C-alpha cells in the first residue's frame, strides 16, 4: 500500500499538476491558490504591495496616507459614495470617467495576457501587439473620409485586432514550428513594433501627418471613426463606448474558455500539455491560435484608445507607453479569470488616473514620483502574485500550502 502517496493526495491542491519532474504552469499554480484562498488572496496581495509602496514613500520623506488619499481623490471612485454631492460629485464624475477610460484598454490587454497564461504561455508581447494595433487603428481611422460611422469604427477595430493577432501570431508560429521560447520572441517583437512605429510616424516617415511636417505624429482620426461618448461631455473627453466593447471582450473570453472546444483544448494544454497531446490535441497548433487571440485582444485595446480619446499617435507615445506591461500585472492579479481581470484593471486604471499630473495635486506629491510609485507597486504585485505564498501565509491557510509545496516535485512513486 502506497501509504505516503495516498497521504499526499488529499493535500495536493486541486490544480497542482504533480507530474513527474514537471513543475506546474503559472496558471495551474494560480488555480490552486484560488481554490485555497478564494478572492481574499489577491486583495491581500494588493494590500501588501500598497503597504510596501507606502514605506518607500515614507522613506523619501512624504506622508504615505496623504499621498494615497490624494491619489484616491483623483480616481473618481469617490463618486460611488452616495454621500458625496454637489461640486465634488461633478469632479468625481469626471475623474471616474477618466478612470474608466484608462480601465478599458487595461481590461483588454489583461485578457491578452490572461488567455495566454491559461494556455501555459507567457505573453509579454502585449506592448508590441498593442502598438501594432494602434498603428493600424490610427491609419484606418484617419483614412476613408466619408465613410459612415459604424462601418468606419468597425473596420478600424477589426483591423487593429487583426494586426495584433498577426503580430502575436508570429511568436505563436515560431513557438509552434521551431519551439522558440515565446518570452524572448515576444519581447523582441515588442521592440521591433516600437521602432517600426517610430519609423512610420517619425519625421519623414511614410505615415507621418502630411499636415504637420515638423511633428513626428500620425494623421488624426476622422470624426466618423471616433467612438461615441455616452457619459460626460464629448468635448471634454467623456467616457466612450469602448468600455462596453471591453466588457464584451470579457464575455467572449469566458465563453471561449469554458464553452467551446477551443477553450477546452487550450485549458488542457495549459494544465497538462502531455495529457493534451496524448488526447490528440496538438500543443503546437494551439500555441498559434492562442497567441493570435491574445494579439487580437491587445490590438482592440489599442483601437479603443486611439478611437476613444487619443485620435492620433505620437512617436513619443509609442515609446513611452506601458499599457502592455500593465496587462501582465492585471492578468496575474486577476488570476487569469474573467471577473478578476475586470477588478484588477479597475485598480490599475484608478492608479493611473490618480497619479497622473492632471489629477494629482503636485503640492501633496509629485506626479512623476507617483507614476514611478505605480510602477513599483505593479512590480511588487507581480512579484507577490508569482508565489502568493506570503499572502496565503498571512491568511494562515499557509499550512496546507506549505505541505503541498513540500510534496510537489517529490518523486511520484516514493518506492518505499
Vertex 54: Cα angle to 53 and 58 (nearest 5): 120
- Whose CA is closest to 164, among 199, 189, 195? 189
Strands 229-231 and 239-240: antiparallel
**Nearest distance from C-beta of residue 408 to other proteins, angstroms:** 6
Cell of 301: 485595446
Q: How many residues bind other proteins (CB under 8 A)?
A: 108
Q: How far apart are CA 140 and CA 151, in angstroms?
A: 11
Interface with other proteins, residue 80, by CB under 8 A:
no
**Nearest distance from C-beta of residue 60 to other proteins, angstroms:** 5
Run of H or E including 279: none
- Considering only residues 167 to 226 of the shown chain, the ones binding other proteins according to CB under 8 A are 174, 178-181, 183-185, 187-189, 191-192, 195-196, 198-199, 202-205
- Considering only residues 130 to 169 of the shown chain, the ones binding other proteins according to CB under 8 A are none
| Closer Cβ to other proteins, 94 or 167, answer by number | 167
Contact 250, 104 (CB under 8 A): no
* Contact region with other proteins (CB under 8 A), list: 13-21, 88-96, 102-110, 144-152: 13-21
| Closer Cβ to other proteins, 95 or 388, answer by number | 388
Q: Which residue has the cell 460629485?
A: 89
Interface with other proteins, residue 280, by CB under 8 A:
yes
- Considering only residues 84 to 123 of the shown chain, the ones binding other proteins according to CB under 8 A are 122
Helix axes 338-355, 86-118, angle to 10 degrees: 130
- Tell which one of 9, 212, 233, 316 touches other proteins (CB under 8 A): 9
List C-alpha distances in Å: 126 to 51, 105, 113. 28, 11, 7
Q: How far apart are CA 150 and CA 167, in angstroms?
A: 26
Q: Which residue has the cell 519551439?
A: 179
Binding mask 294-333 for other proteins (x = CB under 8 A): -------------------------------x--xx--x-
- Tell which one of 240, 267, 310, 335 touches other proteins (CB under 8 A): 267
* Contact region with other proteins (CB under 8 A), list: 7-15, 101-109, 244-252, 343-351: 7-15
Cα pseudo-dihedral 322, 325, 326, 332, rounded to 10:
180
Interface with other proteins, residue 2, by CB under 8 A:
yes
* Contact region with other proteins (CB under 8 A), list: 148-156, 220-228, 241-249, 377-385: 377-385
- Considering only residues 51 to 70 of the shown chain, the ones binding other proteins according to CB under 8 A are 56, 60
Burial 195-231 (b: 16+ CB within 10 A, else e): ebbbebbbeebebbbeeeeeebbbbbbbebbbbebee
Interface with other proteins, residue 7, by CB under 8 A:
yes
Query: Phi/psi of residue 190, each to 5°?
Result: -55, -55
- Considering only residues 378 to 407 of the shown chain, the ones binding other proteins according to CB under 8 A are 378-383, 385-387, 389-390, 403, 405-406
Interface with other proteins, residue 412, by CB under 8 A:
yes
CA torsion sign for 121, 125, 127, 129 is negative
Cell of 229: 461618448
**Nearest distance from C-beta of residue 24 to other proteins, angstroms:** 9
- Tell which one of 251, 278, 316, 339 touches other proteins (CB under 8 A): 278
Interface with other proteins, residue 16, by CB under 8 A:
yes
- Tell which one of 155, 377, 392, 401 touches other proteins (CB under 8 A): 377
* Contact region with other proteins (CB under 8 A), list: 137-145, 242-250, 262-270, 340-348: 262-270
Q: How far apart are CA 156 and CA 150, in angstroms?
A: 10
Interface with other proteins, residue 15, by CB under 8 A:
yes
Amino acid at each position: 500500500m502506497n501509504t505516503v502517496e495516498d497521504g499526499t493526495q488529499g493535500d495536493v491542491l486541486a490544480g497542482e499538476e504533480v507530474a513527474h519532474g514537471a513543475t506546474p504552469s503559472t496558471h495551474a499554480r494560480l488555480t490552486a491558490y484560488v481554490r485555497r484562498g478564494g478572492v481574499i488572496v489577491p486583495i491581500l496581495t494588493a494590500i501588501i504591495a500598497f503597504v510596501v509602496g507606502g514605506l518607500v514613500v515614507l522613506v523619501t520623506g512624504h506622508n504615505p496616507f496623504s499621498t494615497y488619499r490624494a491619489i484616491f481623490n483623483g480616481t473618481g471612485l469617490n463618486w460611488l459614495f452616495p454621500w458625496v454631492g454637489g461640486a465634488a460629485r461633478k469632479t468625481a464624475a469626471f475623474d471616474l470617467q477618466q478612470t474608466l477610460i484608462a480601465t478599458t484598454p487595461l481590461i483588454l490587454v489583461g485578457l491578452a495576457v490572461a488567455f495566454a497564461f491559461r494556455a501555459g504561455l507567457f505573453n509579454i508581447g502585449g506592448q508590441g501587439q498593442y502598438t501594432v494595433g494602434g498603428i493600424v487603428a490610427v491609419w484606418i481611422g484617419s483614412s476613408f473620409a466619408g465613410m459612415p460611422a459604424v462601418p468606419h469604427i468597425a473596420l478600424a477595430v477589426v483591423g487593429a485586432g487583426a494586426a495584433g493577432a498577426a503580430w502575436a501570431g508570429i511568436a505563436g508560429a515560431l513557438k509552434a514550428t521551431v519551439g522558440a521560447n515565446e518570452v524572448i520572441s515576444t519581447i523582441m517583437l515588442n521592440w521591433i513594433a516600437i521602432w517600426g512605429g517610430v519609423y512610420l510616424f517619425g519625421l519623414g516617415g511614410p505615415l507621418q501627418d502630411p499636415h504637420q511636417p515638423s511633428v513626428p505624429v500620425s494623421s488624426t482620426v476622422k470624426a466618423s471613426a471616433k467612438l461615441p461618448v455616452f457619459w460626460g461631455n464629448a468635448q471634454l473627453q467623456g467616457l466612450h463606448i469602448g468600455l462596453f466593447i471591453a466588457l464584451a471582450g470579457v464575455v467572449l473570453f469566458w465563453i471561449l474558455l469554458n464553452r467551446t472546444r477551443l477553450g477546452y483544448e487550450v485549458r488542457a494544454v495549459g494544465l497538462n500539455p502531455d495529457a493534451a497531446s496524448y488526447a490528440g490535441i496538438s500543443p503546437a497548433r494551439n500555441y498559434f491560435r492562442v497567441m493570435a487571440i491574445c494579439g487580437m485582444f491587445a490590438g482592440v485595446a489599442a483601437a479603443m484608445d486611439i478611437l476613444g480619446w487619443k485620435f492620433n499617435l505620437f512617436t513619443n507615445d509609442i515609446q513611452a507607453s506601458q499599457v502592455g506591461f500593465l496587462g501582465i500585472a492585471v492578468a496575474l492579479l486577476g488570476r487569469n479569470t474573467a471577473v478578476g481581470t475586470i477588478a484588477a484593471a479597475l485598480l490599475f486604471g484608478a492608479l493611473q488616473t490618480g497619479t497622473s499630473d492632471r489629477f494629482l495635486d503636485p503640492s501633496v506629491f509629485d506626479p512623476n514620483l507617483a507614476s514611478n510609485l505605480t510602477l513599483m507597486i505593479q512590480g511588487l504585485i507581480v512579484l507577490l502574485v508569482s508565489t502568493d505564498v506570503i499572502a496565503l501565509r498571512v491568511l494562515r491557510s499557509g499550512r496546507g500550502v506549505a505541505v503541498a509545496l513540500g510534496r510537489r516535485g517529490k518523486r511520484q512513486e516514493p518506492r518505499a
